Amino acid sequence: MTETPTTSEALRDRIAAELIAARERTTLLTSAVDEPDLIRQHSPLMSPLVWDLAHVANQEELWLLREVGGRDPMHPEIDPLYDAFEHPRAQRPSLPLLAPGEARAYGHEVRGRVLDLLEKARFGDTRLTTGGFGFGMVAQHEVQHDETMLATHQLRAGAPALTAPPPGPAPADAATLPAEVLVPGGPFTMGTSTEPWALDNERPAHQVHVPAFYLDSVPVTNAAYAEFIADGGYDDPRWWSADGWAHRQRAELFAPLFWRRDGGQWLRTSFGVTAPVVADEPVMHVCWYEADAYARWAGRRLPTEAEWEKAARFHPASSESRRYPWGNADPTPEVANLGQRHLRPAPAGSYPAGAAPCGARQLIGDVWEWTSSDFAPYPGFEAWPYKEYSLVFFGPEYKVLRGGSFGVSPVACRGTFRNWDYPIRRQIFAGFRTARSAPERPAELA
């Protein structure tokens, strides 16, 4: 797109809105608890909230004030403290981190300078400013940490600190949805070369042939997962991979994280509140090994990453790969549960307006969905603007998750967005849906 004064102003307005929205959420997540809770490490898997608070400001300074604006470092001595690769999460509480008040002041100063820079920015002078990419990358980075901080709140002990209205009830047709939908076989365009704020691992667009398959219409629910538990799924090695069974035994897994049995019912603790597990909500806080075991028990499998993306983006009538299941328009509250608007998944079958052409619902939002795929680069991948975002994570140690959760902002969630984590991770807002291959049609009928 050729930059004009009008398009530049529209882009400037969008960037400002995304940066401000991200900071409002960061502020809420870090002001909802007292100073000791900000400094405390609530789990060795997570950083102290005060580390995240200064880290997002440090990255904003690095990429926008220094790289885009050419400014000198404001406080170069703190750079190593907030380099995610310099210190593992478990070590961060022992670092001489900025105190909460200092971290807030630093973030406020950086943001003020960035908004001044934005007013004068020329989009297209450099690769980092073309389409506002550098600004979009920083906005996405902050909201990704907002989701991480939300996970820290979930792990936090003590009185509830966050509240939000629950999602609405399931729509009237949810109970009559087919169990699975058919996604037709054939080629489709995976990834993107045109989404201006897409990150390096989403690029480039490339053709992939996906044989026909069936996919669950909705994510696997708590009720369905409870059947797996009741049938002895955690005690039967037939349903687990060798690595999965070893992990199940070592970690003594018996149910999703935050579930516990009380008499004849399952209870779940969510952001400090314990209540009965809601049967029709998507199951959440299960690791990849648990999802894989459930799929095997059900006589199915996890979808590949390519299958998931084709189901979410491909429109058979036009052969177009769209930005989202519902089309190319940005998400709204009518089509997906995003942005921490609700602090839980919506009931399975919700958001009919956000359904994909294949008929599957909730492919965007609610819960991240584990796929069977290892995290790997696309053909023609280029690490940019820094190799630590994706390149250093490629390999079989990580499994791909797709679709986003209720905890992720719309700016960091689209049909091409790729997330990844170790197959043992359960603190993330992850669930899954299952798939099965469609029988091949005889050649004379094809």
One-letter-per-residue 3-state SS of the chain: CCCCHHHHHHHHHHHHHHHHHHHHHHHHHHHCCCHHHHHCCCCCCCCCHHHHHHHHHHHHHHHHHHHHCCCCCCCHHHHHHHCCCCCCHHHHHHCCCCCHHHHHHHHHHHHHHHHHHHHHCCCCCCCCCHHHHHHHHHHHHHHHHHHHHHHHHHHCCCCCCCCCCCCCCCCCCHHHCCCEEEECCEEEEECCCCCCCCCHHHCCCEEEEECCEEEECCCCEHHHHHHHHHCCHHHCHHHCCHHHHHHHHHHCCCCCCCEEEECCEEEEEECCEEEECCCCCECCCCCHHHHHHHHHHCCCECCCHHHHHHHHHEECCCCEECCECCECCCCCCCCCCCCCCCCCCCCCCCCHHHCCCCCCCCCCCCCEEEEEEEECCCCCCCCCCCCCCCHHHCEEEEEEEECCCCCCCHHHCCCCCCEEECCCCCCCCEECCCEEECCCCCHHHC
Count Cα atoms within 13 angstroms, Cβ side, for 102.
10
Same fold, 5-155 and 165-446: no
CA distances from 389 to 53, 227, 393 (A): 19, 39, 8
Q: What is the pLDDT averaged over residues 128-133?
A: 97
Query: What is residue 371's predicted lDDT score, i.e. its pLDDT?
Result: 99
Q: Is the pLDDT of residue 446 over 70?
A: no
Q: What is the pLDDT averaged over residues 222-241?
A: 98
Residue 51, φ and ψ in degrees, nearest 5: -65, -50
Query: What is residue 440's predicted lDDT score, i.e. its pLDDT?
Result: 75
Q: Is the pLDDT of residue 445 over 60?
A: no
Q: Is the pLDDT of residue 441 over 80?
A: no
Query: What is residue 1's predicted lDDT score, i.e. its pLDDT?
Result: 46
pLDDT tens for 71-94 read 999 999 999 999 999 999 999 999
Q: Is the pLDDT of residue 3 over 70?
A: no
Q: Is the pLDDT of residue 370 over 60?
A: yes
Q: Is the pLDDT of residue 2 over 90?
A: no
pLDDT tens for 214-224 read 999 999 999 99
CATH placement of domain 165-446: 3.90.1580.10
Query: What is residue 266's predicted lDDT score, i.e. its pLDDT?
Result: 98
pLDDT tens for 376-390 read 999 999 999 999 999
Rounded to two decimals, what is the model's pTM? 0.96
Query: What is residue 224's predicted lDDT score, i.e. its pLDDT?
Result: 98
Q: Looking at domain 5-155, what is its CATH homologous superfamily?
A: dinb family like domain (1.20.120.450)
C-alpha 290, offset from chain centre: 19
Query: What is residue 122's predicted lDDT score, i.e. its pLDDT?
Result: 93
pLDDT band at 195 (very low <50, low <70, confident <90, very high): very high
Q: Is the pLDDT of residue 57 over 80?
A: yes
Q: What is the pLDDT averaged over residues 94-123?
A: 97
Q: Is the pLDDT of residue 205 over 60?
A: yes
Query: What is residue 5's predicted lDDT score, i.e. its pLDDT?
Result: 60
Please state, rounded to an integer, the average pLDDT across all residues of the chain: 96
pLDDT band at 7 (very low <50, low <70, confident <90, very high): confident
Indicate the domain borders of the chain.
5-155, 165-446
Q: What is the pLDDT averaged over residues 137-150?
A: 98
